[in-house]
Chains A and B, each alone.
Chain A
Amino acid sequence: MLRSITGMNNGLSFMKQMLLSANVRCFSVAAVNRVKEIIVTKDNKKTIIEGILKPSDRVNLLLDPPADTNHEACSICRLDVDIKHTDVLILSQFMRSDGGMLPRRVTGLCRTQQKRMSKLVTMALKAGLMPNLAPANSKRDPARRDKFKKNHRYFDESTIRPPFRMKYPEDRSLH
């Protein structure tokens, strides 16, 4: 909101800022993201499908970005932490309830991190660490899987190709 108000004085700078802020994801306390939930109720001879807008349950739990944050970096590059495939509490944030990975247009990650996260999610699912996030026909219990899949497996994150471990370059102007 601050951007648009200051930009109103000069039409050119307003346009410039609009163009610049196209890829910027806004983190602010005032804006409330709403998500849509579709509820299907079936009566006799009547089916009601309604979409309800409700505030996202993540609003109060969002991490504050660090003070020297680069707003062009995605939410994981900004954090600058080494995420392992056993960090299911982080990985489950990028997943649907049926165990699928959310697409990049929803997660807002950069290409590198989206690829890395999807590989880590695959590792965690193969290791059976998130059996509750699975399609409806899933057996849920990893011990009931077939053949070699039923035994415990772990993965080495260094087998993910090196560009995905690349860190966001430091800001030289601060030093």
Chain B
Amino acid sequence: MRNIFERVKQWNTLTRIWHLYDAKWQDPFDSAKVIQKYLKGLHKPIYHPLADCGDHVVVINCKEIAMRGDEWRKRAYFHHTGYAGGGTYTLAWELHDKNPLMIMKKAVYRSMKGNLQRRYTMERLHLYAEENVPQDIIENISSVIPQLRDVPMRLDRMPEDQVKGYPKIWDLPKDYVVR
């Protein structure tokens, strides 16, 4: 053991770390690819499929996920009850109305290979629709997974002097009637 950092590195590898991920304005399918690596422990040097070295990931703001372009109404989720004629297709926005956690959960579940370990790995995923997380979960968190996309700023929420004082790239023509 060379120094204190090496020691901490070893603790982080051999213990279960709790990571926080803010899903606000994030694509659930891109995020799932990142989250599943932490759940399986792929980011650790000692990773082996049989070594139980995966971490916990707490995902907050699942209600605020963003999808690209038309995907909210183009993506359909299929479910079959098992009875004849029991198949249903639910659009992504309809599913999100019913359960704001389901799209994120299915995205992570599908990003992993279907083996016996998958159900146990999913147990380490903790999803929350909003920012309020129970205290006993918050206490464990010691790491943050960086967001994949910047959260865009809304024009009406920017300070007014910043909007008015921002450099203009062209001027209105003479005799333009302001509307």
Contacts and interface: CB of A to CB of B under 8 A. Distances in A.
Partners in one complex: yes
A88 B155 contact: yes
Contact of A159 (B69, B165, B177): B69
Interface residues of A, number: 48
A57 B170 CA distance: 11
A38 B25 CA distance: 41
Given A75-B169, A151-B72, A152-B64, A131 B154 contact: yes
A140 B157 CA distance: 12
Contacts of A71: none
A96 B25 contact: no
Given A36-B178, A98-B179, A156-B69, A128 B172 contact: no
A89 B27 contact: no
Contact of A90 (B96, B153, B169, B173): B169
Contacts of A93: 168-170
Contacts of A35: 172, 174-178
A88 to B, nearest CB: 4
B65 interface: yes
A129 B169 contact: no
B6 interface: no
